[in-house]
Structure 1
Amino acid sequence: MDRLKRVGWGRVATVTVVAVCVGYAPIAMTELWPYARPGAPAFGEWLLGKAVSPRYVADALATRIGPYGRSLVPLILHSVLGGALMLLGPVQLSSAVRRRVRLHRAVGVVYALTVYASMAGAAVYLARTAPRDAFDGESFWLVLATILVGTTLSVTFGVLAALGRLPDLHQRWMLLCYGYLMTAPLLRLEWGALPWILPDGLPMEDVNRVAIMHLGSVVVFGALLASRAMDRRDALPQQGGTWAAWPVLAVAHVAGAAALVWIGRSFLDFGAEGRRLLVAFLLPYAATYSVMAVRQRVAGRRGRPWAREEWRLHLTALCLAPVFSVAATLCFERYMHLDGLTALSAGVGIGCGVLAFAATTAVSLRVLYAREVARRQAMGGGSEASAAAPDLAHI
């Protein structure tokens, strides 16, 4: 029964993601047509106007004519190729394609090249646009820049893992890359859904600020869930001890709790808007934490040490995400001279995404270390590897 439930939820999640991606692809590809040719159809604007109001959309996009006009060609390249990636991702992840190795590799090459070209267009736009001129200002510019770097590095590590014949690591990095890309369609969905929840009359800039409080944690958590669903191993060969022992988890929890208190008190200093942003961050964060904490414990009880290890590494990173956010906020205030709320929004907006990248890196190193131990034992160096294992087991 439990297995049937897991399969059922997995299929529902897969169908939902595919539907969102396929539905968003034409929206992404036509999003910038009106800036190149006034009056050209833009399906996304039309749908958003129907979901909220035409004035809500018009007021937000009226300020984009100048910044977009200075980088229109790179932005069109970015959006059109971004729409193509929304279609290539589900194709590449489908079991039918993955079973055909040559086809999977060919589509993978196209996918990676498309990511690089699309991110290059985004990089040109960000380089030509002052942070204050970005939609929603400096906080959103910083979030976009972080997503760009994370997406590019993730696909690069995914390619390197494939070349190194490490399919499990390749799979994790490509899922994380696609998770970062999913921020685009999910943000558009929140532009249409949040005005029904938030107070009437909020402009899209304010709605956008609420959305970026949790989109990073949502997409990377989705990538983790997909990775765990596709990895059925109970243990790694020569896995050894854990890299996230209870003392490590305890320190991460204490540091994370202190950082969360700092973030909460800082947001509350900004009145109703601060409270709104704090709730938008805390609710998804708490849900993500609860799932990770429960899953690592369940995996331990079921005798699945590798699943438990991966959950614990990501749980540790999640606890440390607020610490990173506090440090980033202070840096943005000091070195970019941002006001308190803008710096705080940017720091919180990128925290979970950056630490998920760090957690995936730790998981990759964990896999590589276990394989190296197994390789040395196979070559007759078992005693040396066993002696080294305790030193690294509690990192």
Structure 2
Amino acid sequence: MNRLRGIGWGRWAAIVVIAVGVGYAPIAMTELWPYAHRGAPAIGQSLLAHVTNPRYVADALATRIKPYQHSLAALVVHSVLGGLLMLLGPLQLLTAVRRRVRLHRTLGVVFAVTVYVCMAGAAVYLLRTAPRDAFSGPAFWIVLATILVGTVFSVTFGIVAAVRRMPEIHQRWMLLCYAFLMTAPLLRFEWGALPVLFPGIPMTQINQIAVMHLGSVVAFGALVASRRLDRRVELPGMGRSWVPWWVLVPAALAGTAALAWLTWSLVSAGGVQNHRLAVGYLVPFAVTAAVMVWRMAVAGREGRTWAREEWGIHLVALCLAPVFSAACVLPFERALHIGHATAVAAGAAIGCGFLAFWATAVVGLRALVASTATTSGLGARGSADLRLRRVGAASHPGH
């Protein structure tokens, strides 16, 4: 018991993530078997029907038969490889922590190739499926497409960071990549848990509520994990902060205005479901913002300038997420021919994840600029020392 108490919250979080990934792997791999062969086992559907009720599951999945048949082979590849990624992610984390460099690199190559092939299968499905035919509607199609792009670019930038020998930035990109992948098991958890809060509503509406905040939740989880693993107090060569008060305050004001508009747009559209969507978006957003402000303040008070900088960059991104979401509404309406409330929900659902991606890119650029400044400073110092030695040698030819 004492040994269990000695385990920090960070290790407990890692244990939970690993357990979720490993536990979800067989569910992902068998999820689409019944669509290929009637009566084939589907572990996930059985568990969900047991936790909720069979009718709740059957009514939702019955509508998937026709859309899935268009891209069944690609979806099977996607689901099987998605399950494999759930296993490879924890292995990558463990080999990195244990400093098994050669094994980590080998598994990293396998992980990256698997991500590309897995996401190619998802891309085939999305290209062959009209947004209106996606599960729970066009907003979910947009969310899936955004997660696909975010996952592919995250692993790509992670590879670039590894090649450039920037392990801390590589680590951030790979954590974000795995966080995007974790939206799949977390969504299944919400399918089972949210009916307790909203009894009697179908899974399609539960899905709409869940995707309003999944992007922000997983991106925030990746940020917390990154900060947990990076213990550096200062970043050599960082210089002045990129997020002074005159950047934070306008971002917060713009974000507040956009957040108010998004909320008003959902609530004024009428209907209980739109009110649920607004709550599903606002509550996690407010909690995430509060934690970021708190951690940024604590880091500043303790003199941990690099931690404060990273929290600040992500806080600015979170503030600008509603602005980006609001800017997406009109293009979604025009391009996909969807209603205003649906476009607002879709924009809100992808905003936090999209801006977290760019915040990670800015953090990487911040580290690269600091590293370049440090290298330039050392080079200039070395050149000056060399010139001094040459002058000294010329002044004292007898030595």
> What's the TM-score once normalised by structure 1's chain length?
0.94
The 1:128/1:358 distance shift into structure 2, 3 A limit, reads same
Q: Report what 1:243 is aligned to.
A: 242
- 2:95–2:103 contact (8 Å) kept in structure 1: no
Q: Are 1:255 and 1:320, in contact at CA under 8 Å, matched by a contact in 2?
A: yes
Distance 1:115 1:219, change over 3 A: same
Unaligned runs of 5+ in 2: 384-399
Q: Could you tell me how far 1:216 is from its partner in structure 2?
A: 0.4
Residues 139 and 343, structure 1, Cα contact 8 Å, conserved in 2? yes
CA–CA distance in structure 1, aligned partners of residues 228 and 201 of structure 2: 39
Q: For residue 86 of structure 2, give the secondary structure of its aligned residue in structure 1.
A: helix
- Name the amino acid aligned to 1:21: G
Match of 2:183 in 1: 183
- Supply the AA of the counterpart residue of 2:76: I
How far has the Cα of 1:379 moved from its partner?
1.2
Between the aligned partners of 1:62 and 1:341, the Cα distance in structure 2 is 26
| Aligned: 1:85 with 2:85 | yes
What is the alpha-carbon distance in structure 2 between the residues aligned to residue 173 and residue 30 of structure 1?
28
Give yes or no for contact 2:88–2:107 (8 Å, CA) kept in 1.
Answer: yes
Counterpart CA distance in 2 for 1:244 and 1:6 is 36
8 Å CA contact 2:95, 2:104 repeated in 1: no
Partner of 1:192: 192
Q: Deviations over 1:322-352 (max 9, x none)?
A: 0011011122113322101211111011000
Which whole-Å CA distance do the structure 2 matches of 1:334 and 1:125 have between them?
23
1:160 CA displacement: 0.8
Q: State the partner residue of 1:202.
A: 201
> Relative to 1, partners in 2 of residues 1:97 and 1:117: Cα closer, same or farther, differing over 3 Å?
farther
Q: Distance in 1 between matches of 2:5 and 2:141?
A: 41
RMSD (Å) for aligned C-alpha atoms: 1.6
Alpha-carbon offset, residue 271 of structure 1: 2.8
Tell me what 1:102 maps to.
Answer: 102
User: How far apart, in 2, do the equivalents of 1:336 and 1:292 lie?
Assistant: 34
Aligned 8 A contact 2:333 2:340 in 1: yes
Q: Does 2:117 align with 1:117?
A: yes
1:261 matched to 2:260: yes
Q: Does 1:285 align with 2:267?
A: no
In 2: Cα distance, 1:111 partner to 1:7 partner: 29
Mapped to 1, the partners of 2:169 and 2:6 lie a distance apart of: 23
Following superposition, the deviation at residue 255 of structure 1 comes to 0.1
Instruction: For residue 235 of structure 1, give the secondary structure of its aligned residue in structure 2.
Output: coil
1:213–1:277 CA contact under 8 A, matched in 2: yes
For residues 173-210 of structure 1, what are the alpha-carbon distances to aligned partners after superposition, in whole Å with 9 as ceiling and x for unaligned?
00000010000000000001101111x22111100000
Tell me which residue corresponds to 1:171.
171
What is the one-letter code of the residue matched to 2:375? R
Runs of 4 or more consecutive aligned structure 1 residues displaced over 6 Å after TM superposition: none
Paired residues for 1:1-395 under 5 Å: 8-94=8-94, 98-198=98-198, 200-269=199-268, 270-380=270-380
Quote how far apart the aligned CAs of 1:96 are. 6.6
| Distance across 2 between alignment mates of 1:21 and 1:6 | 24
Matched residue type, 2:338: L
Q: Deviations over 1:133-180 (max 9, x none)?
A: 111111100000000000000000001111111101100000000010
SS of structure 1 residue aligned to 2:201? coil
For this pair of structures, how many residues does the alignment match?
A: 379
Identity of aligned residues (%): 62
User: Residue type matched to 2:61 in 1?
Assistant: L
Give me the TM-score of the superposition, normalised by structure 2: 0.93
Alpha-carbon displacement from aligned partner over 1:1-23 (angstroms, at most 9, x marks no partner): xxx99962112111111111111
Ranges in structure 1 where 5+ consecutive residues have no aligned partner: 384-395
Distance 1:206 1:75, change over 3 A: same
Structure-2 change in CA distance of 1:295 and 1:204 (3 Å): same
Secondary structure of 2:15's match?
A: helix
